[in-house]
Chains A and B, each alone.
Chain A
């Protein structure tokens, strides 16, 4: 397990540049980040119905959804399936189209309410998210991004390290538990 804690990209060759994501080693850190953010968006990717590292991602999404702190949007092929599982989805959108809008300072969001202060991502193919986060790091530097997948994403503002499934689940669960007692 300890090997996976190294702050290195899951895909070995996807080495970042000088600015790298801060590692979320404790749930309390993520709780604090979420608490101090306005207009939080949770972007759910095309692998959201897969089992990753032995964990059903949809269960984690359900937990995060239960906090009611996020506007949840999902990749097109997955959105209606999540809705079918009782998870409210505000919009279905490709992650590239989402990234293109998030980097636009004039975009007012899915509800017209203004820019998002924090965007969290979960359920994406590794390289897809790696690239979109790179675009956001460079072209939306004021946007805070969090990768909640169990692989270190160097271009996010904050990312989980490479973790095994059980650790991943308990991290998200502890975050959600803390948020629910807010």
Chain B
């Protein structure tokens, strides 16, 4: 048993009894108060070894992972500038004034990023939960419908509790909050100094982050009536052209849905539903569409500049996370008032929460106030709608994009200095596009639009003050004026019955893998690449799950018949299904599905049994996360949660800026031994999965890597043959040959795909291959059955 924390003895709600006056045969008392701490609720599942684990309770598991998957640090900065003894140069073995070296400093920065991400999700969960409890009561049941009995797999796994009401979620949330404070404290000067312990703490942060995600999403699903694991959740519209510009438009942007839900509620209550457009960017868009499927989704977070500058939004309602820091300035340029609804993002605006709505509306419409902070989610709907209705006729959809006539003039101001290209994260050939645009040919600008991440840094870099991003957007007007697609609304969790159906084929390898396309839209080469990647695997009968901005990007391409991927593929968690779970916080259902496979299919005890379940997933569940455009600290925290759970993550080229990978060394045979749980023997199981965290240089490398990372030591020969057939086929398709490491993944002749037998056997002979046993794999000696 690991060390006890106070959470282990207080893992259920407080019990307090207050008695004004007590008179009995044996005692008389006044103002009597009895407090019992918390009552541990029992259910049929025995309590595992690590309920509410402290920072060090899972350290041994982390070290097992880190022994195999060692960090390769690629410092983003040579210096440490976190205290006044610095700056300190840590280059090539130097130590700072506090004694820290570069490995520790890099892992410390990774921990800081993960803490920021986890704190953000946790704060989000806290705001949401408090609001929902105030509105629906602590006793609002966690009822995810008749097909989901394992309602909170992460909370059960980590905390060892079974939440029955939304009030019960507070126990898990308080635990997460306490732990994150300790983790953040570990980054202070003079605290942790070992890279391996920093990395262990990163994993701990990621695990906590997943608890927070699950709390937030379960609470909003059950309280706000979102789809409950429905494979046929409705389709809604996405894209700039999906927004009806003949109506007042309210843009909701961010991640925390109460203000957007309040807008929908007010429109329904006042019978104006349908006469005002509610259009979302980023995860608030996902969640308002789950709340009201007729709400529109504009696009991922990188669509903020282009949408605001298009002039379509009449009011901007900002909640929290991933909202541009210049949204107020941008909105001012198109004369759209801003309503800030989160304490996390007040934008320097006056707090008008207590003021009468009509008075605020008047100030916003007259322009005497450009925006307000308004922290009452019950009334923000009325404020936003009334403002939009009054602003709409005055604004006339004023734009901050140049006209077609102005476009050529602006482009001709370019002198080809290329400072814009040097500021551009994707090093796009802007100067060349400006040159052709100045002659009236806008095709190159249209190309830039498709691969631009919408950051706008090009404009700040331009010495001639050309509004470069606006020029690109306007030059691509023919594209975005037709940008209208279908996306399936986030369905939330995976049903228990779905897990029952696919658990066996996933664990034995017959469904070749579960691939999660998640994260932000910071793509190196445009969003079309992840559409192509996802479809490659959908066609091959992998299960593809998705969330967040990636889920939006997957909708934003059409086939020859005009269908998006969501119209072509089923929403079921099954072979060839495309499962949009929802917003960032819905990533919990992706981790939850992997955990449920261990619990429902393999009947492993889940409760407070983290190490065993993670060992199960690492060795048996062929799941891979792909965060192709990961940008944020939240994405870092989410990834960290998957690493500890044994799920490898691939990022796109920009993801390398997370500055360290967790790489296995496939040729180092000693790294790839496991215990055979049947015999206790140490058995070579092959480099599967080869890495825990890595970037791909491009789409082709990512596709082949995904297929490889889906292999697991436990695959049956039939399953391994299926996985190898895809790995080989993709390697031939994109690399022009058999994989050069194929011999490491063939354990027995029966693993070889039948149709490729002669070719593969010839290759194996050249490599001096011999058959190896297939173990019942585990990295945990305590799980060996024979004693």
- B136 within 8 A of partner (CB): no
- Taking a contact as CB atoms under 8 Å apart, the answer to whether B657 and A127 are in contact is yes
Most A Cβ at <10 Å: residue of B90, B524, B704, B736: B736
Residues of B within 8 A of A13 (CB): 423
- Taking a contact as CB atoms under 8 Å apart, the answer to whether B740 and A91 are in contact is yes
Partner of B72, one of A16, A17, A103, A137: A103
- B601 within 8 A of partner (CB): no
Residues of A within 8 A of B698 (CB): 46, 75, 77
- Taking a contact as CB atoms under 8 Å apart, the answer to whether B697 and A131 are in contact is no
Most A Cβ at <10 Å: residue of B78, B417, B653, B663: B78
- Taking a contact as CB atoms under 8 Å apart, the answer to whether A96 and B694 are in contact is yes
Identify which of residues 629-682 in chain B touch chain A, using a CB-to-CB cut-off of 8 Å: 653-654, 656-657, 659, 661, 663, 665
Residues 69-97 of A, flagged 1 when their CB comes within 8 A of B and 0 if not, give 00000011101110010000001101111
* Closest-CB distance, A24 to chain B (whole angstroms): 20
Residues 1-43 of A, flagged 1 when their CB comes within 8 A of B and 0 if not, give 0010000001111001111000000000000000000000000
Residue of A whose beta carbon sits closest to that of B417: A3
- Taking a contact as CB atoms under 8 Å apart, the answer to whether B700 and A125 are in contact is no
Residues 698-709 of B, flagged 1 when their CB comes within 8 A of A and 0 if not, give 101100100000
- Taking a contact as CB atoms under 8 Å apart, the answer to whether A131 and B657 are in contact is yes
Partner of B75, one of A11, A18, A134: A134
Residues 71-95 of B, flagged 1 when their CB comes within 8 A of A and 0 if not, give 0111111110000000001111100
Identify which of residues 50-84 in chain B touch chain A, using a CB-to-CB cut-off of 8 Å: 70, 72-79
- B102 within 8 A of partner (CB): yes
Partner of B735, one of A76, A95, A141: A76
- A132 within 8 A of partner (CB): yes
Count contacts on B: residues with CB < 8 A to the other chain.
45
Residue of A whose beta carbon sits closest to that of B690: A97
In this complex, the interface size class of chain A, counting residues with CB under 8 Å from chain B, is 35 or more
Residues of A within 8 A of B72 (CB): 96, 99-100, 103, 135, 139
Residue of A whose beta carbon sits closest to that of B427: A126
Q: In the assembly, what is the distance between CA of A16 and CA of B75, in Å? A: 10
- Taking a contact as CB atoms under 8 Å apart, the answer to whether A77 and B697 are in contact is yes
Q: In the assembly, what is the distance between CA of A137 and CA of B701, in Å? A: 25
Q: In the assembly, what is the distance between CA of A141 and CA of B78, in Å? A: 13
- A45 within 8 A of partner (CB): yes
Residues of B within 8 A of A3 (CB): 417
Q: In the assembly, what is the distance between CA of A127 and CA of B651, in Å? A: 14
- Taking a contact as CB atoms under 8 Å apart, the answer to whether B656 and A128 are in contact is yes
- Taking a contact as CB atoms under 8 Å apart, the answer to whether A94 and B697 are in contact is yes
Partner of B740, one of A19, A92, A101, A132: A92
Residue of A whose beta carbon sits closest to that of B425: A127
Q: In the assembly, what is the distance between CA of A103 and CA of B90, in Å? A: 17
Residues 675-697 of B, flagged 1 when their CB comes within 8 A of A and 0 if not, give 00000000000000000001111
- Taking a contact as CB atoms under 8 Å apart, the answer to whether A138 and B92 are in contact is yes
Q: If the complex has contacts A12-B422, A100-B661, A127-B653, are A141 and B694 also in contact, measured as CB distance less than 8 A?
A: no
Residues of A within 8 A of B102 (CB): 138-139
- B734 within 8 A of partner (CB): yes
Q: In the assembly, what is the distance between CA of A9 and CA of B300, in Å? A: 30
Q: In the assembly, what is the distance between CA of A92 and CA of B738, in Å? A: 12
Residue of B whose beta carbon sits closest to that of A13: B423
* Closest-CB distance, A63 to chain B (whole angstroms): 23
Partner of B419, one of A12, A45, A75, A138: A12
Identify which of residues 109-145 in chain A touch chain B, using a CB-to-CB cut-off of 8 Å: 124-128, 131-132, 134-135, 137-139, 141
Q: In the assembly, what is the distance between CA of A103 and CA of B698, in Å? A: 23
Residues of A within 8 A of B93 (CB): 138, 141
- Taking a contact as CB atoms under 8 Å apart, the answer to whether B423 and A132 are in contact is no
Residues of B within 8 A of A127 (CB): 425, 653-654, 656-657
- Taking a contact as CB atoms under 8 Å apart, the answer to whether A17 and B663 are in contact is no
Residue of A whose beta carbon sits closest to that of B663: A100
Residue of A whose beta carbon sits closest to that of B736: A80
Residue of A whose beta carbon sits closest to that of B734: A77
Q: In the assembly, what is the distance between CA of A45 and CA of B708, in Å? A: 21
Partner of A96, one of B77, B422, B661, B736: B661
- Taking a contact as CB atoms under 8 Å apart, the answer to whether A16 and B704 are in contact is no
- Taking a contact as CB atoms under 8 Å apart, the answer to whether A134 and B76 are in contact is yes
Residues of A within 8 A of B78 (CB): 16-19, 134, 138
- B461 within 8 A of partner (CB): yes
- B189 within 8 A of partner (CB): no
Identify which of residues 77-118 in chain B touch chain A, using a CB-to-CB cut-off of 8 Å: 77-79, 89-93, 102-103
Partner of A46, one of B76, B103, B427, B701: B701
- B275 within 8 A of partner (CB): no
Residue of B whose beta carbon sits closest to that of A97: B663
Identify which of residues 727-771 in chain B touch chain A, using a CB-to-CB cut-off of 8 Å: 734-737, 740
- Taking a contact as CB atoms under 8 Å apart, the answer to whether A46 and B74 are in contact is no
- Taking a contact as CB atoms under 8 Å apart, the answer to whether B700 and A77 are in contact is yes
Q: If the complex has contacts A77-B697, A132-B74, are A19 and B92 also in contact, measured as CB distance less than 8 A?
A: yes
* Closest-CB distance, A10 to chain B (whole angstroms): 6
Residues 398-414 of B, flagged 1 when their CB comes within 8 A of A and 0 if not, give 00000000000000000
- Taking a contact as CB atoms under 8 Å apart, the answer to whether B697 and A46 are in contact is yes
Q: In the assembly, what is the distance between CA of A153 and CA of B524, in Å? A: 19
* Closest-CB distance, A162 to chain B (whole angstroms): 9
Residue of B whose beta carbon sits closest to that of A75: B697
Residues of B within 8 A of A92 (CB): 735, 740
- Taking a contact as CB atoms under 8 Å apart, the answer to whether A75 and B701 are in contact is yes
- Taking a contact as CB atoms under 8 Å apart, the answer to whether A135 and B73 are in contact is yes
- Taking a contact as CB atoms under 8 Å apart, the answer to whether A99 and B74 are in contact is yes
Partner of B524, one of A17, A76, A125, A139: A125
Residues of B within 8 A of A45 (CB): 697
- Taking a contact as CB atoms under 8 Å apart, the answer to whether B701 and A94 are in contact is yes
Residues of B within 8 A of A91 (CB): 740
* Closest-CB distance, B293 to chain A (whole angstroms): 39
Residue of A whose beta carbon sits closest to that of B70: A100
Q: In the assembly, what is the distance between CA of A11 and CA of B73, in Å? A: 21
Q: In the assembly, what is the distance between CA of A102 and CA of B694, in Å? A: 16
Identify which of residues 411-431 in chain B touch chain A, using a CB-to-CB cut-off of 8 Å: 417, 419, 422-423, 425, 427
Residues of B within 8 A of A79 (CB): 735
* Closest-CB distance, A126 to chain B (whole angstroms): 6
* Closest-CB distance, B49 to chain A (whole angstroms): 34
A77-B734, A101-B665 are known contacts; what are 9 more A-B pairs with Cβ within 8 Å? A10-B427, A13-B423, A17-B77, A17-B91, A45-B697, A100-B665, A124-B697, A135-B74, A141-B92
- A-B contact list, 30 entries, CB within 8 Å: A3-B417, A10-B422, A11-B422, A13-B423, A18-B89, A19-B91, A19-B92, A45-B697, A46-B701, A75-B697, A75-B698, A77-B697, A77-B701, A95-B697, A96-B661, A96-B694, A97-B694, A99-B74, A100-B663, A127-B425, A127-B653, A127-B654, A127-B656, A127-B657, A131-B74, A131-B76, A134-B75, A135-B73, A137-B91, A138-B102
Interchain residue pairs A-B with the least CB separation, the first 3: A17-B78, A80-B736, A135-B74
Tell me the A residues contacting B by CB distance below 8 Å.
Answer: 3, 10-13, 16-19, 45-46, 75-77, 79-81, 84, 91-92, 94-97, 99-101, 103, 124-128, 131-132, 134-135, 137-139, 141
